[in-house]
């Protein structure tokens, strides 16, 4: 809110990072808060991009962009 142009540029940076998963989706690490060995993440700046690889449809499903300073609660992990 303090600097909309900077926020907009960073938003595009996050989107570009998520789109880059189409080339190397396995590069992300498994999310430590999950025990399913399916949910992965990449880090961009202070944000975590949380996603799953849909092998059947050959796509990446991005679940959320998460501020790394915040903890995932149980309900957020399931949502």
Number of domains composing the chain: 1
51-72 pLDDT, tens digit each = 999 999 999 999 999 988 776 5
Q: What is the CATH number of the domain that holds 12?
A: 3.30.2310.20
Which residue carries 């809110």 as its tokens? 1
Q: Is the pLDDT of residue 2 over 90?
A: no
Overall pTM surpassing 0.85 (yes/no): no
Q: What's the domain range around 66?
A: 4-78
Q: Is the pLDDT of residue 4 over 90?
A: yes
**Stronger pLDDT, 70 or 10, i.e. the higher one:** 10
Identify the three-state secondary structure at position 62.
Answer: strand
32: its two tokens? 């430590």
Helices of type H across the chain: 4-19, 74-78
């Amino acid at each position: 809110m303090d600097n909309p142009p900077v926020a907009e540029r960073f938003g595009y940076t996050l989107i570009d990072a998520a789109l880059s998963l189409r080339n190397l989706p396995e590069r992300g690490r498994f999310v430590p808060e999950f025990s399913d060995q399916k949910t992965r993440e990449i880090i961009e700046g202070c944000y975590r991009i949380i996603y799953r690889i849909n092998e059947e449809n050959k796509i990446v499903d991005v679940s959320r962009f998460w501020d790394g300073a915040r903890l995932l609660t149980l309900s957020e992990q399931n949502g």
